[in-house]
Amino acid sequence: MKLKLGFIIIILCVSCGTKVSEEPASTTEKSQPNILWIVTEDISPTLSFYGDSTAKTPNLDAVAKESMIYDNAFAVVGVCGPSRSSIITGMYPTSIGTMHMRTGKDIHSWGKRSYNKEATKKDLQNNPIIEYSAVIPAPVKCYTEYLRINGYYCTNNQKTDYQFAPPVTAWDENNNKAHWRNRPENTPFFSVFNIGITHESQLWKKEKLPLTVDPKRVKVPPYLPDTEATRQTIARHYSNVELMDSKVGEIIQQLKNDGLYDNTIIFFYSDHGGPLPRQKREIYDSGLKVPFIIKGIDGKKGRTDRMISFVDLAPTMLSLAGIEPRNYMEGKAFLGEFETEPREYIIGTSDRFDEFTDRMRALRTKRYLYIKNDFPNLPKYKDVSYRKNIPMMLPFLEMRDNYELTETERLWFQTKTKEELYDCKKDLHNINNLANDPEYQKILAEMRVKLINHQLNREDFGLTPESSLIQQMWPNFQQPITEKVTFTFEPETGRKVALASKTKGVSIGYIVSETAIANPNLNSGWKVYSEPIRVQPGQFVYAMAQRIGFKESEITKTKVP
C-alpha cells in the first residue's frame, strides 16, 4: 500500500558485523509529511478492533474505524530496550549488540549517563556483567539524524531506552516539554510522545486505584490460573489501557486544535506484547505480537495480513519522508516512495532479561512459529525479581509449588526442548508444541532452514558471551571516549567552517550563537552536522561529537574571526 507525501503522520506505539555506508542522506527538495508517534507500552492485540472489547477505548476505536488494521505485526524482542534499539536504528538487536535487557539503567535520556561498575549480573558462562552502553557498529545511526539533515524538527517526549545513550544529534528536543509546537514555522516535524500508563510496573504501582474494568468480565489466557488474584491483575491492566486511551485523546485533540487532524495519517502499535506473566519477555506471540493500525488520508480501511517487524520502522519512516533508506538497514520499508515487497517472515530473539540469561531464536510466518532453543537444559520460566512485583505473580508461584496448576498452566515452568513449532492459526496461545509430531516434520524442516538462511552471513552478537562482548566494547571495562571536534575555516573568506573528529563513526552536533553560552543545554538546541556550515564574523560555534556507546566528547568552541 503506497501513501502519498504531503500529509501529517501520527504513529501511536503502545508501550526501538554488517557492512554499512556512512553517506549522509540527500537534501533534495520534496514535499515532506509531518510525523507524530504516541508511544505507550506493553499491550498485546487485546483491543476492540482485534475482537476484545473488555477495555473501553473510544479514542483508539475512532482511529481504528478509519484505518487499515494489520494482523501480523511483531516486535523483535518481548521487552522494550532491545526492541527500541531496533526501532531507532533499523537493525536487529543481535546485529548491533543491543539484545541484552538492560545494559545500563541510566540511559533513558540525556543527563543520566553514569554506569555501575559493580557486577551484579552474570552471563551464560557465569562471568560477571557490569552496566554499559552498547557500542554499535560505527556507521549505524539513529535514523532521526537523517530526518533532521533533511529539514525535519524532531522531538522526543521523553523515553529513549535504546540500550545506549542517544547522541545530541538524535533529537532537536529530548525532554518532558518536547512538542511539535516548538518547531520553527513551516518546518516538517517528527514528534514522539511516550505514555507509560500501560507498562508492566503500573500493575502494582496503580494497584490501589479504582478499577474501571470488572475482574469478572476479563478473559484469562489458558496459560494463567483463573483465580481472583489473576483476574484482579488483568482487570488492572485493562483499566490502565482505558487511562492510556484518555491520554491518546488529549494528544489527538491538540492536533485538532492546531488544525492538523484532517490531514493526518495515524499509526498505532505497541512496543511489544502484554505485561502479564508468560507475555512480556517471551518469544511467543504473547510477547512479540502487537496491535498495529494505519489511518490514511486516502480513505482506505479494512484489514491486511502483511507481516510487519519493528526493524522495518526506520526504513519506512525515511521512505515516507522521501529519503532513501540506508544500505546497512536490515528492515524493509512497507510504505512510501521506497516501499519494498512484503516480507515472508519475521525474526524474534531472546537473550538476557535482567539477571537471567538464555539464548533463543524464533522465526514466524503468517501461520507458524518456530523456536530454536540453544540451551534446552534451561527452564522456560526465568525467576526475574522485577516481575515478582506483579500482584498475581507470587500466588501463581505458590500454586506451582503446591502442585495446584493444570497441565497447560505448568508448561511455562518446564525445561525447554531443543525446538518448538506452533500452528498459530489453530493454537493462538502457542500451547501445543508440534516439533515431535510426525505430521509436521516437513514444516519443521522448512522453518529450520529459513532461520538458518536468515542467520547466514549475518552477525549475531548474542553468540558472544556478554562479558567478552563488554570487554570488546569497553576495553578494561572503561567506556571509550569520543575525540573532541576540531574546526577548519574556509581559507579565504572564513565564511564556512568544517567540523571533524578523529573517532570513526561519530555524529557531530553544533550550535551557532551570536553570543557566548556558558553551559549549552544537552537536551535541545543542537543541530546535526553533515556539511560545512555558513557562519558570520563574531559568531560563536559550539560542537560536540559522539560515537554511539562511547562517552560524548568535551564541548569545544570557537569564535568566527
CA geometry: angle 537, 538, 541, nearest 5 deg: 95
| pLDDT digit string, tens, across residues 394-438 | 999 999 999 999 999 999 999 999 999 999 999 999 999 999 999
Phi, psi dihedral angles at 412 (to 5 degrees): -65, -25
Q: pLDDT at position 27, please?
A: 42
Summarised one tens digit per residue, pLDDT across range 129-180 is 999 999 999 999 999 999 999 999 998 998 899 999 999 999 999 889 999 9
Mean pLDDT computed over 252-272: 87
Q: Which fold has domain 39-102+142-342?
A: Alkaline Phosphatase, subunit A (3.40.720)
Q: Which helix (H) or strand (E) holds 245?
A: helix 228-257
Between CA 281 and CA 104, with CA 158 as vertex, the angle to 5 degrees is: 50
What is the C-alpha to C-alpha distance for residues 90 and 451, in angstroms, rounded to an integer? 19
DSSP string for 39-102: E-----S-SGGGT--SS--HHHHHHHTTSEEEEEEE-SSSSHHHHHHHHHHSS-HHHHT--SB-
pLDDT of residue 175: 87
In the chain, domain spans: 39-102+142-342, 350-476, 480-559
Torsion angle of the four alpha carbons 243, 247, 248, 251, in this order, in degrees rounded to the nearest 10? 170
pLDDT at 351: 97
CB 195 within 8 A of CB 244: yes
pLDDT above 50 for 228 = yes
Q: What is the pLDDT of residue 9?
A: 44
| pLDDT higher than threshold 50 for residue 500 | yes
Query: What global pTM score does this model have?
Result: 0.93
Confidence of residue 264 (pLDDT cuts 50, 70, 90): low
- pLDDT surpassing 50 at residue 7: no
Cβ within 8 Å of residue 70, ≥6 positions away: 292, 293, 294, 303, 304, 306, 308
Q: Among 194, 241, 239, 255, which residue's Cα sits nearest to residue 12? A: 194
Confidence band for 105, pLDDT divided at 50, 70 and 90: low
- Rounded distance between C-alpha atoms, residue 253 and residue 63, angstroms: 12
The torsion region of residue 6 among left (phi > 0), alpha (psi -120 to 50) and beta comes to left
Confidence of residue 30 (pLDDT cuts 50, 70, 90): low
Per-residue pLDDT, averaged over 43-48, amounts to 96
**What average pLDDT does range 196-224 have in this prediction?**
97
Three-class secondary structure of residue 368 per DSSP: strand
Q: How confident is the model at residue 25 (pLDDT cuts 50, 70, 90)?
A: very low
Say what percent of the chain tops pLDDT 90: 76
**92-101, 261-270, 473-482, 548-557: least confidently modelled range:** 261-270
Q: Which segment of 103-117, 229-243, 335-349, 380-394 scores lowest on mean pLDDT?
A: 103-117
Active site residue 80: yes
Tell me the mean pLDDT in the region 208-234. 97
State what percent of residues in the chain have pLDDT above 70. Answer: 93
Annotated catalytic residue, options 13, 16, 80, 142: 80
Q: pLDDT tens, 56-103?
A: 999 999 988 988 889 999 999 999 999 999 999 999 999 999 999 989
14 pLDDT higher than 70: no
Residue 312 to residue 314: CA distance in whole angstroms: 6
Domain pair 39-102+142-342 / 480-559, same fold? no
Which string of b and e fits 461-481 if b means at least 16 CB within 10 Å?
A: bbeebbbebbeebbeeeebee
- Whether cis (ω within 30° of 0) applies to the bond prior to 102 is yes
Judged against a pLDDT cut of 60, whether residue 274 lies above it is answered with yes
- Cα dihedral 260→261→264→270 (10° resolution): 120
pLDDT band at 115 (very low <50, low <70, confident <90, very high): confident
pLDDT number for residue 113 = 65
Which three cell numbers mark 168?
545530541
User: What's the Cα-to-Cα distance from 313 to each of 189, 195, 455, rounded to whole Å?
Assistant: 17, 19, 21
CATH classification for the domain delimited by 480-559, as one of 2.60.40, 2.60.60, 3.40.50, 1.10.60: 2.60.40
pLDDT tens-digit series, residues 292-308:
988 877 788 999 999 99
Establish whether the linkage from the previous residue to 232 is cis, with ω within 30° of 0: no
Sign of dihedral through CA atoms 399, 400, 406, 410? positive
Q: Answer with the residue of higher pLDDT: 67 or 311.
A: 311
